[in-house]
Structure 1
Amino acid sequence: MATDRPAAPALQEELLRRARERAAARTATGPGSTDRGPAPLSRAQHRMWLMDRLGHDGASYSVPFATRLRGPLDVDALASALTGLVRRHEILRTRYVQRNGEPCQEVLPAPESIAVPVVPADPAEAARLLAAEARRPFDLATGTVPRALVLRHGPQDHTALLTFHHISIDGPSLEMVADELAALYETAARSREASATAPGSHPAQPRPRPPQYADFARHEHRAAPGRLDEGLRHWHALLDGAAPPRLPGPAHPPTDLTARPTGSHTTPLAPEVPAALRELGRRHQATPFTVALTAAFATLHRGTGQDDLVIGIAGTHRRGTAMRGLVGLCVNTLPLRVDASGDPSFGTLLKRVRAALLDAQQHTDVPFDLIVDRLGAAARGADGTSLVRVTADVLGAPTTLRLPGTDAEYVEVGVGEAKFDLSFGLVDTDRPAALVQYRRAALDEEAATGLGATYAALLTALATAPDDLPLSQLTEAEGVQLPSTAVELGDSDAHPAERILRSHPHLSDAAVVSPPGGPLLAYAVLREIGGPSPAELRAHLRDRLAADLVPAAVTLLDVLPRAADGTVDPVRLPGLPSLPAPEGPHADAVREGFAALLGRTPAPDDDFFALGGHSLAAVQLAERLRRALTLPLTGLDIMQARTPRAVSALLDGRAAERAAASLRPATRPGQTGRTSRTAAGQPGRARTGTVLVTGATGGVGSFLLRELAAQGRPVLALARPESAHLVAADGVDVVEGDLTDLDGLRTAVRSADAVIHAASTFTRPEVDVAAMDAMVDAWSRGPFVFVSSVDAYGHPGGGRVVEESPSHEPLSPYGRAKLDCEARLLRAAGTAGRGGASAVRSPLVWGPHDRLRDQLRWGATGVLYQAIREGRPLAVPRPGAGGHAWYGAAWVHGAALARAVVSCLDTPVHGVANAISGHVAWQDLAAELSQLLGLKGNLEESDDIHPDLDHHWHYDSDRLARALRPLPGEDLASVLASMITPSLDRQPTRT
């Protein structure tokens, strides 16, 4: 008979666990202790409590956390997860009262349940409803249990809002909360499913108890009384005589700020600006944050005319493993004082800011309130923090609540007033921007606009300006929108129409060509999807030029084709009159290859597909040319270039690029130096800890190399001879070979201490399996990670696929090869000195790399993309068609996959793990693509299932969930935008 009570042994084990926990609570000391009863406030909490007592709180310190969730949402599981979260973290159920005249915090009993109300709401009304909910004040004396609200826009479309009080949470805490909620939600949902199918099943094991914030506050107060004296003396000497920046207040202060208490100005930056700022920082041994902070100081100097400036930055009290997993308020404000006098160059100012930042980081443990107290009345205003009126930060992608089975999208909820008078922010995502936020009661609107424009212009100018240019000259670029504009507009040799197009704010590149005997033609590259049309651009030119200077047509391109010297290559521009046929060995090989595979000799501008070509023929042609010419080339290159002329020009460019590459003569893998290039069959021993990476020149491989480089791991990269120079970098030894060279593979494996096998032929499964056999045969030590594919699952019967689920027929040849390779690897793991093995199955890999970018344009997802681009009607499967509730694609960001794969080197999964960033329904993908392309899709739902769209599986990815947690720019919308929007600094397509 079924029973809801656990079996006797399980009950005894649970009672023993609780007894041990109580014993630990009685004896624990320090920041991880578990004292009961009232606790003092931490320094950061004390200031927050004081603001509340002074009536300065309102909604300013509400922390709304909203996410649009598309997919099936289990509201009961969300309520259970939130309840479990509040039970685990006492700070989320704490009230703030006074005892004997002193404020203290008291932990309230854990709630039995937390309600999650669901309100039907049209998406257009969501912003108003969310803001109203988030603005509801908390009563600190009664507690700060987070509030929840779910807006229901449709059966599988919701917006979930959680509202916290800042006294109980900070930015890093919010990320932990999001992760824990997702895990607790999944546990609750599965428990409900299990209870429905198997009543009386054993409950999930309890999670380890996290550290509690009240214990941190106690530890802070128990510290030796004189512990901070040295730091206080340091800050007093540093800040003595400092004054807050003089910001121009509004001439007529607003009388009603309830509607818009905070102002902001966001200026988009060119996509290449963040990378240029990182390079600038690298030259000066400074982080991107330091570079952006220096730009804020320079902007403030320009805007106020002051040399002695103070800007605040966020510090943290989080230190050591004892505080890992701690939810609470652990932030601290660090005031940086910098001298901007003498019209320094930006490089000089950067050194001053870097020195001030390093100095401050040596004294982060001193609470800002104590610093203000030591400085006295001169540093204190009505709110106690007037010394820091201005702050600066670098902002990444915001945190979202990623619940299993749903796609998450961040939702901005505007509440409260800015906490500082002026804040500078560099938005470092795939859509970079310069942000200025300000209090409208404290800063003049016109002055704020000017500061925002100066900050954006300065960040832009830094991308190309010399490091030694004085600030007075550097900031003369105010108003410049593109770093290239300042240079290219001064090019007197450029056609006037080209100069005007280059200066257009919505264009990232342009060229004007005057072919012999033909009309003037213009070509332009949009900065973002949805920019001006060719007709609008031509009208823009007509308004500014004489009629004979206006091009006959403007053609929009993804990117301007350029020759090896960087100039626009007219041979590869569409629409030009016929040019002489290309000559030379590359052109001859291309012509012969077209003829051999397509059965006819092509003209220079014949289209590959018009001649009967297809994707497999493109791969075969690329392999033929690659072997004959020993130059990197892929099937996607053929499919994009399409004509013999364009393919020949591409090969000419690749040859010039290879000739310019600076590689030293071949050496053995163990030799020192910046790079080495070895023959695969050559014996040798690589550096200790070396990771062999196959497929290093591919899209996934490029992200793997970046992740390994970031961790400082030495790499042995397998590459074909024609592509070896493409992966040469610091810390990378290059071993020449490919999957068909089995002896070379064995030698390479023997030379390394770990293996990441990410290469695949995709079209020749017998080669893939033979290569795995050779590598496993040579494997004798360290971990081995194989980048497999979810195709190895075949066609499961249900809609959810658990890790290591058995495969179901039919399996494609590609999927069966992956499954066979996994079996060979996992059988060998742990034998004969071998380490652990991990088979990481991935779905479609997307990311800002040409080899990945085109996955969106071909295959199943390409069906949608091409239909939207061409305005063709397309029927997508209706939910429920064929007995399946959902149709769509699982996907993973290339960087997230790399993190997951590399994490398996240290912690092998000893089996199969899925690497999934998310799932997107065909309807949602079509909507996202339509929005990004600025086109309206002609899609309808149907019970007839298009064979290319017959995908209906959700894949669990528990084992690698932490490594797969998205970083800024890795959400679905951002990665699709990066794959569609032209990028000036994207990597060339290579093999």
Structure 2
Amino acid sequence: MSTDADSTARAEQQRLQQELLRRARTTAARRTPDTGGQAARDAARPGRVPLSRAQRRMWLMERLGGAGDSYHVPFATRVRGPFDPAALATALTSLVARHTILRTCYADQDGEPFQEVLPAPPTVAVPVVHTATANAPALLCEEAARPFDLAAGEAVRARVLRHGPQDHTVLLTFHHIAVDGGALDTLADELAALYTTAVDGSGGPALAVPPQYADYARREHGEIARLQPELERWSGLLADATPPRLPEPATPDPTSRSVAMHTVPLPPALPHGLRALGAEQRATLFAVSLTAAFAALHRLTGDDDLIIGVAGTHRSGTAMRGLVGLCVNTLPVRVDASDDPSFTELLHRVRDALLEAQRHRHLPFDLVLERLGATARGADGTALVRVTSDVLGEPTVLRLPGTSAEYVDVPTGGAKFALSYGLDLGDAEQPTALVQFDPNALDDAAAQATVRDYAAFLDAAVAGPELALSKLPGLGAPHHSGTRRSPSGAPQVPGDSAPDGADHPAAHALRAHPQVADALVVRPAQGPPVAYAVLDDSLGPSGNELLGLLRRSLAPESVPASVTLLDTLPETTGGALDTARLPGAPAPSGPSHPRAGAVTEAFASLLGLTPSPDDDFFALGGHSLVAVQLAERLRTGLGLPLTGLDVLQARTPRALTALLDERAAQQAAAKTTTKPARTRAVRPGTVLVTGATGGVGAFIVRELAAQGRPVLALARPESAHLIAAEGVDVVAGDLTDLAGLRDAVREADAVIHAACTFTRPEVDLAAMEAMVDAWRRGPFVFVSSVDAYGHPHADQVLEESPPCEPVSPYGRAKLDCEAMVLRAAGTDGRGGSSAVRSPIVWGAHERLREQLRWGAIGTLYQAARRGEPIELPRPGTGGHPWYGAAWVHAAALARAVTECLDRPVHGVANAVSGHVSWHDLAHDLTELLGTRGDVRETDDVPRDLDHRWHYDSHRLARPLRAKPGEERRTVLAEMVDGMTGDDA
């Protein structure tokens, strides 16, 4: 039952809403029908301009005191590197001078509001506060919440928190009456350019004269009369609509204006699947995500007639490009969810309703509300649009020259809507479903349920779009349940050793993952909790990927030390959970645990300080190069497979120890099932493959196995179990084990050498010399590189073209290795030889995905991922018509290499699947990542992007012919969707 205080608060809220509606009607009635004449009179009074409709409503909310800091727009960036606050003040002053909306005051005469531009200030203050990083969140929230004085023309203010000599947080706070989300990118870009000019004093290139918001407001004001017929029709379509009925909390707190949020991590590949579904149904990704929001809202409310608001904009055409101001417009999308439609059918309804709303996007929503009057609200006073939905990209940051930029979230105090659904694609490697809600309008448990439904519907949209809404998975699905169920179906709770196992936040988050069937968290006697997850199938995320999702979605104290994947949670004969049989619990670090001690020692040696078990690798100063060094040290010292990416994903000594324990157990289990070593009498025709655990080697082994050829794979001892399969025998060794290389070559009837150190040419040369020395029969195929050509003078490169300086050490090593093989071919019983030169190799393999992280392509990928401007050499620069890269699909390369076993080239052959320009690649990446990176052409050619050669590949054209699924966009999408871990 509601208390008297609740009733009083509700009555006060309704009074404010009624007063807002009354004032809006009063000001509308005062306007004469001759709106064009009124605009002329306003124009005759210098500087006095009518408010736009969106501004009018915001001004009224401010006057009524019902807005608080809900309409403050904080924009904060962590800036590391040389930073000059005085230069920022100069740049900000110039920015305010450029855009009159940032120096506009608001007043009223006879109840009619107007805006008036003030003179440009001599300088905009940028106060600097010295503070520790730990104190920053509170200071930022305090600053963002400070009231604005709109009557005095205050629309932007700045504050800088100084954490160290080259570590600052820059906070700009705007009022929404002057700035919307679409203007932030413009402001950030211009402020960065103005700051650069202020720092170097060069004057810099002149920025184009921007359009001014006052002109836009005048135009909108003058067009209202013309919009009346269309306004009548649109209002009629919404006339009998009612706001969604949301389950309210049992004990609301009317004095609180807080906003709350719940999130659910999504599979990395899901956005690609959603885009593909949209393409099939002639719908956008936004329409697909909006359909999932309608489905979740339908399940939450039980209503068939639903309205969700989406953000529109009045910006259109080149004349409004760069316009700073409040141009956002709410579009009410009304959808009928009756008759239990399939997801596809609901998508069609949403698509049509969204198109109808977008046809009216130029109609100010405030006018629609005025026309609807009291029918625009529910019986309890709730607004017609109280639920919204959006797709979120990477947030805007302030990128200043010579510094790194990191987005800083500064929450504001109040929720603008009762409930908002969001598909967050800001992190390309980890999409997220989220709901933001007003805790006084929606029960917290209901919010958690609806975000899980929303996430489940997004996943089900790809897996089963033809299923009816009632059949789609949601909160009631097994992997969303808060309790485990025994085989009989009866609810079951964990044992005493894990009293919070099923209810732990990490367990809830794991079970919410669409590919997780069950999960449990156990807290050992010492150290943080550990998690266990059971996947729906073997193709789901790894334990490290799930751990990364938890780090991004939970509070630090709720993140377990590790996530161990199990086939099933162990049970006793009675069906109860048997925690004693749970494997992989990390042991406390110390002398009693050799692997833990080795991890701690490696951390201390490479990072310069002894870590505690839960210290974060990055917080200790780690980066990608140190991760590679640490992995190499542990791999060789412990004899277990480990990569630098593993270190970046595990991040703490305890989690890394748990991962090594898990791999030790896998290695031990594999050894018990190892088949006897082959003998030549049993398996003639065996092909030795080096580098079999790498991206190229893995595809070669797969191709040979598909052809039925017996394979002898060279692998390090700790990785041998990773490639043992039917038809594949493993011999231990690596490129530094010259004796082992010789023995392996002597056993084989053919050799494919695909291994390479990439960074140690002397090792590569010594290994090739040992292999050629032992080679006495059959063909030898060497997987080389187009780097062996160096920098040819011609843009078209024929096979076996001579090298042109400069040739990199890596390319020189390839040339020298090729010469050894080609000279030895046909002598002393040896077979034919082939040097297959490949460019960048693409394919759905973790080692190959590193091509997207590093080098030239890595430069583009990182910029596209962050939504940064991408500068590319203009075609024709330096007399070269094209800049880009050659590439080959790993499967096509494998076919070409194995073809050389039967038909040796007796020389050099290129293996190229295609060529892609930097411009096309940048476009592909920004589209696949869902970012808005601006691609610009310049007359400069950065060293990383100075690639302009097309490579002929006639000799291997037949096996290189692309098969279905090997098109550039397809494989690039696979690589992007499969990206995991942190790009450090």
Q: Are residues 1:392 and 2:389 paired?
A: yes
Q: Please give the alpha-carbon distance, in whole angstroms, between the structure 2 residues aligned to 1:158 and 1:850.
A: 36
- What SS does the corresponding residue of 2:667 show, helix, strand or coil? coil
The residue number in structure 2 matching 1:803 is none
Cα distance, 1:984 vs. partner?
11
Q: Are residues 1:225 and 2:221 paired?
A: no
Q: Are residues 1:767 and 2:789 paired?
A: yes
Which structure 1 residue ranges, 5 or more long, are not aligned?
A: 1-28, 192-201, 492-497, 514-521, 561-569, 598-606, 609-617, 632-636, 654-739, 741-759, 779-787, 793-810, 818-843, 860-888, 916-956, 973-981
Partner AA of 1:70 in structure 2? R
Q: Please give the alpha-carbon distance, in whole angstroms, between the structure 1 residues aligned to 2:56 and 2:423.
A: 30
- What SS does the corresponding residue of 2:148 show, helix, strand or coil? coil
- On the 8 A contact 1:537/1:554 being kept in 2, the answer is no
Q: Please give the alpha-carbon distance, in whole angstroms, between the structure 2 residues aligned to 1:389 and 1:211.
A: 33
Cα distance, 1:590 vs. partner?
7.2
Q: Are residues 1:442 and 2:438 paired?
A: no
Alignment of 1:751-900 (within 5 A): 765-770=787-792, 773-775=794-796, 813=809, 850-851=846-847, 853-854=849-850, 893=862, 895=864
Q: Are residues 1:211 and 2:179 paired?
A: no
Alignment of 1:228-627 (within 5 A): 228-257=227-256, 261-380=258-377, 386-428=383-425, 429=427, 430-464=429-463, 466-475=464-473, 478=476, 481=479, 502-504=517-519, 526-529=545-548, 532=560, 541=570, 550=581, 574-575=667-668, 576=670, 577-580=672-675, 592-593=688-689
The residue number in structure 2 matching 1:986 is 978
Cα root mean square deviation, aligned: 5.7
The residue number in structure 2 matching 1:172 is 182
- What SS does the corresponding residue of 2:151 show, helix, strand or coil? coil
Cα distance, 1:459 vs. partner?
2.8
Cα distance, 1:248 vs. partner?
2.9
Worse-superposed segment, 64-73 or 157-166? 64-73
Q: Please give the alpha-carbon distance, in whole angstroms, between the structure 2 residues aligned to 1:81 and 1:168.
A: 18
Which structure 2 residue ranges, 5 or more long, are not aligned?
A: 1-38, 490-509, 521-530, 552-558, 587-640, 647-662, 708-712, 730-780, 814-839, 885-917, 934-973
Q: Please give the alpha-carbon distance, in whole angstroms, between the structure 1 residues aligned to 2:183 and 2:924.
A: 18
Cα distance, 1:349 vs. partner?
1.2
Q: Please give the alpha-carbon distance, in whole angstroms, between the structure 1 residues aligned to 2:152 and 2:402.
A: 36
Distance 1:643 1:203, change over 3 A: closer
Q: Please give the alpha-carbon distance, in whole angstroms, between the structure 2 residues aligned to 1:481 and 1:768.
A: 54
Distance 1:776 1:151, change over 3 A: same
Q: Please give the alpha-carbon distance, in whole angstroms, between the structure 2 residues aligned to 1:907 and 1:273.
A: 39
- Which whole-Å deviations, capped at 9, do the CAs of 1:551-576 have from their partners, x for residues lacking one? 7768999999xxxxxxxxx9x96331
Partner AA of 1:265 in structure 2? H
Q: Please give the alpha-carbon distance, in whole angstroms, between the structure 2 residues aligned to 1:385 and 1:400.
A: 35
**TM norm structure 1:** 0.56
Q: Please give the alpha-carbon distance, in whole angstroms, between the structure 2 residues aligned to 1:342 and 1:237.
A: 24
The residue number in structure 2 matching 1:133 is 143
Partner AA of 1:223 in structure 2? E
Q: Please give the alpha-carbon distance, in whole angstroms, between the structure 2 residues aligned to 1:639 and 1:35.
A: 83
Cα distance, 1:377 vs. partner?
1.8
Cα distance, 1:892 vs. partner?
5.5
- Which whole-Å deviations, capped at 9, do the CAs of 1:561-601 have from their partners, x for residues lacking one? xxxxxxxxx9x96331242268899997775455xx9xxxx
Cα distance, 1:367 vs. partner?
0.8
Distance 1:501 1:42, change over 3 A: closer
Distance 1:83 1:503, change over 3 A: same
Q: Please give the alpha-carbon distance, in whole angstroms, between the structure 1 residues aligned to 2:279 and 2:689.
A: 45
Q: Please give the alpha-carbon distance, in whole angstroms, between the structure 2 residues aligned to 1:847 and 1:155.
A: 44
Partner AA of 1:267 in structure 2? V
- On the 8 A contact 2:272/2:928 being kept in 1, the answer is no
Q: Please give the alpha-carbon distance, in whole angstroms, between the structure 1 residues aligned to 2:842 and 2:703.
A: 28
Which structure would you say has the larger Rg? Answer: 2
Alignment of 1:43-82 (within 5 A): 43-82=53-92
Cα distance, 1:908 vs. partner?
6.0
Q: Please give the alpha-carbon distance, in whole angstroms, between the structure 2 residues aligned to 1:170 and 1:383.
A: 30
- On the 8 A contact 1:62/1:416 being kept in 2, the answer is no
Cα distance, 1:481 vs. partner?
4.8
Cα distance, 1:91 vs. partner?
0.9
- What SS does the corresponding residue of 2:291 show, helix, strand or coil? helix
Partner AA of 1:986 in structure 2? G
Q: Please give the alpha-carbon distance, in whole angstroms, between the structure 1 residues aligned to 2:295 and 2:798.
A: 60
- On the 8 A contact 1:307/1:339 being kept in 2, the answer is yes
Distance 1:624 1:291, change over 3 A: closer
Q: 1:190 aligns with which of 200, 206, 209?
A: 200
- Which whole-Å deviations, capped at 9, do the CAs of 1:593-628 have from their partners, x for residues lacking one? 55xx9xxxxxxxxx99xxxxxxxxx89989999999
Partner AA of 1:773 in structure 2? A
Q: Please give the alpha-carbon distance, in whole angstroms, between the structure 2 residues aligned to 1:101 and 1:355.
A: 40
Distance 1:987 1:127, change over 3 A: closer
- On the 8 A contact 2:269/2:978 being kept in 1, the answer is no
Partner AA of 1:352 in structure 2? R
Q: Please give the alpha-carbon distance, in whole angstroms, between the structure 2 residues aligned to 1:536 and 1:969.
A: 31
Distance 1:651 1:322, change over 3 A: farther
Alignment of 1:661-676 (within 5 A): none
Q: Please give the alpha-carbon distance, in whole angstroms, between the structure 1 residues aligned to 2:209 and 2:298.
A: 49
- On the 8 A contact 1:309/1:339 being kept in 2, the answer is yes
- What SS does the corresponding residue of 1:893 show, helix, strand or coil? helix
Q: Please give the alpha-carbon distance, in whole angstroms, between the structure 1 residues aligned to 2:322 and 2:44.
A: 15
**Aligned residue pairs, count:** 654
Q: Please give the alpha-carbon distance, in whole angstroms, between the structure 2 residues aligned to 1:445 and 1:535.
A: 27
Q: Please give the alpha-carbon distance, in whole angstroms, between the structure 1 residues aligned to 2:109 and 2:57.
A: 17
Distance 1:285 1:189, change over 3 A: same
Q: Please give the alpha-carbon distance, in whole angstroms, between the structure 2 residues aligned to 1:240 and 1:178.
A: 41
Q: Please give the alpha-carbon distance, in whole angstroms, between the structure 2 residues aligned to 1:267 and 1:897.
A: 22
Partner AA of 2:862 in structure 1? H
Partner AA of 2:471 in structure 1? Q
Partner AA of 1:346 in structure 2? F
Report sequence identity in percent.
46
Cα distance, 1:146 vs. partner?
1.1
Q: Please give the alpha-carbon distance, in whole angstroms, between the structure 1 residues aligned to 2:299 and 2:399.
A: 42
Q: Please give the alpha-carbon distance, in whole angstroms, between the structure 2 residues aligned to 1:482 and 1:641.
A: 41
- What SS does the corresponding residue of 1:247 show, helix, strand or coil? coil
Cα distance, 1:209 vs. partner?
1.0
- On the 8 A contact 1:69/1:159 being kept in 2, the answer is yes
Cα distance, 1:277 vs. partner?
2.6
Distance 1:169 1:776, change over 3 A: farther
